[in-house]
Amino acid sequence: MEINYKLLDSIFLFDGLCEGDKKRISDNLSPRVREYHRGELIFSGESAEKCVGFVLSGECEVRRTREDDFVILNTLTKGSSFGILSVFAADDEFPTLIFARKNAAVLFFSDFEIKSLVEEYPKISLNVIDFLSKRIIFLNKKIATYSGGSVNEKLSSYLYTKYLSEGDEFPLNCKRCSEALGVGRASVYRALEALASGGIITFNDKKIKINDPSGLERN
């Protein structure tokens, strides 16, 4: 499928490339665009070929299954990507599932195309390294969520990682939150009230707004 090179402007992989390089890439490669309906499976370790997907529109969510339930790990919006580890992590199985949270369009590059781009364009290589470095930082913050001392510290780390991935306002399921942190729901509510009384967050109707991200980091 022919891809207008302007489409690449919204994708981090091509940040810093000149217009000529972007046009050359769009002319020489054959990425494909697929559209998905809300709730449709987009990507999994069992069925997915090795490729990288970039969200062009709509929203997707990253899930990890757990018995008959699942946990939402991240929300992907326009410009977000998934699958890079499936290209660069040898034969390891992709550990999560990607579903369409809303109707979504996704641009796919094959593993061969991604590797060719990395080999040919140093700037793309740096963009990949930068992306993976940020993922490591994000995962380290996740680890801090589960190893924090008090409930307030654990909840603050949990909310801060949600803030990094979903923005300053998002839904909060206290049952799943308490399970993730390994504490009771009553303890989660008390910690939420403490953060709210300090003006760091506002929460109601199962939604939460982060007013002071630095306040979560200080906790």
pLDDT band, very low/low/confident/very high, at 92 (cuts 50, 70, 90): low
Q: What is the pLDDT of residues 146-199, one digit of tens each?
A: 666 688 888 888 888 788 777 888 888 888 888 778 788 888 889 999 999 989
Q: Is the pLDDT score of 125 beyond 90? A: yes
Query: Which residues have CB under 8 Å from 24's CB, separation 6+?
Result: none
Query: Which residues have CB under 8 Å from 207's CB, separation 6+?
Result: 169, 170, 171, 172
Name the CATH code of domain 148-218 (choices 1.10.10.10, 3.30.70.3150, 3.40.440.10, 1.10.3470.10). Answer: 1.10.10.10
Tokens of 174: 């206290």
- What average pLDDT is seen over the chain? 83
User: How many percent of the chain have pLDDT more than 70?
Assistant: 86
- Cα separation, 18 vs 136, in Å, equals 28
Say which CATH superfamily domain 5-138 falls into: Jelly Rolls (2.60.120.10)
Could you tell me the residue ranges of all domains in the chain? 5-138, 148-218
* pTM higher than 0.75: no
Q: Is the pLDDT score of 1 beyond 50? A: no
Which one-letter DSSP state was computed for residue 67? T
Neighbour order of strands in the sheet with 207-210: 169-171, 207-210, 201-204
